[in-house]
Structures are given as C-alpha cells and as structure tokens.
C-alpha cells in the first residue's frame, strides 16, 4: 500500500483521495486539530480539514483509527509537537458539540 511522502514541517496531513469523510479521526483527536468542512465536490458533501496544526500533540490517534489509511502523522524525531493545552481541549469540545465541525464563529480560549 502506498503512502504519501511526508511534507516538510507538517505535523499531520491527509490524502483527500482516500478520505471518505467518516468523522472518526475528528472524534478521536484530543487536541481540536481536525474538523470536517463542507465540500460540495465530495460524494458525501464533506471533507476532513486540519484546522489547528499548531495544536497537534503527535499522539497518532487519528492515523490509528482511520479505516482508509488517509491521514498521516509526522515522526516524533522529525517534528516538534505541541503539548495538550486547555485551549486545545476546549476547541475539541466545540468541534464535537457542533457535529464534528469547528463552529465558524469559534473564538479561541486562552
């Protein structure tokens, strides 16, 4: 099975050709990094979006739970990941409570 080449200086990235917008990775992320977004060209009308890459803690949950091998996380030796913060947790809660989508008017907690 082929995987995408790792883009430089990127904590997490997606092969959108494989993503079927199932929400599972969004649900699994502890740090509010992932969200679904509206995508009219996609069969399901939605697509995964990486909304807060700077909050990624490199836990690998998204990569582990994706049934379609569509999302990838950088190696720990190649990327300096963030620590889990209250602001990240609050963003994740807002995403889950809004049907796996970051609310358009979301304001970051401090």
State the residues that interact with ligand SF4 by CB under 6 A.
12, 14, 19-25, 28-31, 33-34, 48, 56-62, 66, 68, 70-71, 73
In angstroms, give the least distance from the CB of 19 to ligand SF4: 3
In angstroms, give the least distance from the CB of 69 to ligand SF4: 8
In angstroms, give the least distance from the CB of 67 to ligand SF4: 6
**Distance between CA atoms of residues 29 and 52, nearest Å:** 11
């Amino acid at each position: 099975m082929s995987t995408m080449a790792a883009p430089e200086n990127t904590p997490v990235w997606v092969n959108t050709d494989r993503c079927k917008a199932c929400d599972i990775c969004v649900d699994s992320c502890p740090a509010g990094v992932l969200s679904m977004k509206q995508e009219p060209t996609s069969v399901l009308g939605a697509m995964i979006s990486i909304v807060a890459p700077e909050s990624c803690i490199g836990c690998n949950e998204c990569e582990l739970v994706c049934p379609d091998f569509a999302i990838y996380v950088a190696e720990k030796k190649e990327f300096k990941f963030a620590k889990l913060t209250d602001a990240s947790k609050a963003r994740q809660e807002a995403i889950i409570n809004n049907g796996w989508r970051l609310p358009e008017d979301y304001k970051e907690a401090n």
